[in-house]
């Protein structure tokens, strides 16, 4: 297992991150615990959860399992979503953050969280209030590092600027949706992360299961892709473009002697700015297949083929800027 530094920090994390949204839900407690144990045995040290995954059950399973070797694990969780029915039971106010970090610490059975992430933007709470509350948690020792998830580029840049100006802890990472089937972050967020050295830890690296190659043209009757709405809805994934990407993925995977899931994860793990794709699994079989993405490299020509097949259409102002970047390069 390869290790990489998380953004502008000295924190080393494994090249794959174990996502736990299925724990206590589609994955049994026993299988969830076994996944964590095997992940650690294979050198994995980065585990991601959230306070709202299965109403906190995921955090409980993770905390109970890693307790004997807590200090070896880089433990990440999140805050922002609704956890109580009252008016202040949601968002990124100081009140909600402080209440929920205490609740997460209790469920996780630990006295500190390595990476505490805001789950999505909160347009009602002043950003200064959120960032100051997070900085206070770092100062108190309850949180080691902070990150964000599902942010627009301007939202992240605003947050980084405020933190830098005030001398507060800044986001070391962002958790966006990113895969061969969804490369939207490349329009603006990716270049910001590269410029500011913010580590990218993608969620849905297999497009909600679409890139595993298990599905044909017909809508599945179960699983995430069967849902009527959401980021992994079949209607969103099952496009002509994505099926063309999947065909190329199957071809590259076969040539590499790997499965489509392993190849899709490997492509993402080698993408610029990406630190550690977050993969999840409902069964041990899925988990072990995904773990086959670690410990090898996709050849440069194969990586480039997948990159070309899934590349976003050129857009403004990116193509305009690139034109004059080439002029500068010629003058060097």
Catalytic positions:
53
Q: Which two tokens stand for residue 189?
A: 């967020």
Contact 45, 75 (CB under 8 A): no
Tokens representing residue 116 in the block: 């505490």
- pLDDT of res. 321: 86
pLDDT value of residue 238: 85
pLDDT of residue 232: 78
Separation between Cα atoms, residue 181 and residue 277, nearest integer Å: 14
Label residues 88-122 b or e (16+ Cβ within 10 Å = b): eebbbbeebbebbbebbbebbebebbbbbbbbebb
pLDDT of residue 37: 98
Q: What is the pLDDT of residue 236?
A: 85
193: which 2 tokens? Answer: 């992360």
Q: How far apart are CA 136 and CA 140, in angstroms?
A: 6
Counting DSSP H helices and E strands in the chain, the numbers are 12, 10
d(CA 276, CA 4): 8
Looking at residue 228, its pLDDT comes to 66
Asked whether 115 and 75 are in contact (CB, 8 A), the reply is yes
Q: Is 3.10.20.30 the CATH classification of the domain at 3-331?
A: no
Tokens of residue 187, six digits: 């329009």
Please give the average pLDDT of every successive group of 10 residues along the chain, which has 332 residues.
97 98 96 98 98 95 98 97 89 97 98 97 97 98 98 98 98 98 97 98 95 78 68 85 96 97 98 98 97 97 98 90 76 55
pTM: 0.94
Kindly report the number of other CB atoms within 10 A of residue 67's CB atom: 12
Give CA–CA dist 76/224, Å, rounded. Answer: 23
**Following CA atoms 218, 222, 224, 227 in sequence, which dihedral angle do they give, to the nearest 10 degrees?**
80
């Amino acid at each position: 297992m390869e290790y990489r530094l998380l953004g502008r920090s000295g924190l080393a994390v494994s090249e794959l991150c174990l996502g736990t949204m299925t724990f206590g839900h589609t994955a049994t407690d026993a299988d969830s615990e076994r996944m964590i144990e095997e992940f650690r045995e294979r050198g994995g040290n980065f585990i991601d959860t959230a306070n709202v995954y299965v109403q906190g059950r995921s955090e409980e399973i993770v905390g109970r399992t890693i307790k004997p070797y807590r200090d070896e694990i880089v433990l990440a969780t999140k805050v922002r979503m609704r956890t109580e029915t009252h008016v202040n039971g949601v968002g990124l106010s100081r009140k909600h953050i402080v209440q929920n970090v205490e609740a997460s610490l209790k469920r996780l059975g630990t006295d500190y969280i390595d990476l505490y992430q805001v789950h999505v933007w909160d347009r009602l709470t002043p950003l200064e209030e959120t960032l100051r509350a997070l900085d206070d948690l770092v100062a108190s020792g309850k949180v080691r590092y902070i990150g964000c998830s599902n942010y627009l580029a301007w939202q992240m840049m605003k947050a980084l600027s405020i933190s830098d100006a005030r001398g507060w802890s800044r986001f070391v990472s962002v958790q966006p949706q990113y895969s061969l089937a969804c490369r939207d972050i490349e329009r603006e967020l990716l270049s910001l992360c590269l410029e500011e050295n913010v580590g990218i830890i993608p969620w849905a690296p297999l497009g909600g299961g679409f890139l595993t190659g298990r599905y044909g043209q017909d809508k599945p009757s179960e699983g995430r892709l069967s849902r009527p709405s959401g980021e992994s809805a079949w209607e969103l994934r099952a496009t002509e473009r994505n099926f063309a990407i999947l065909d190329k993925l199957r071809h590259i995977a076969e040539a590499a002697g790997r499965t489509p899931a392993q190849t899709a994860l490997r492509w993402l793990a080698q993408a610029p700015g990406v630190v550690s794709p977050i993969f999840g699994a409902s069964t041990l079989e899925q988990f072990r297949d995904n773990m086959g993405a670690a410990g090898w490299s996709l050849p440069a020509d194969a990586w480039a083929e997948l990159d070309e097949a899934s590349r976003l259409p050129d857009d403004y102002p990116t193509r305009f800027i690139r034109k004059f970047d080439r002029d500068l390069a010629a003058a060097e």
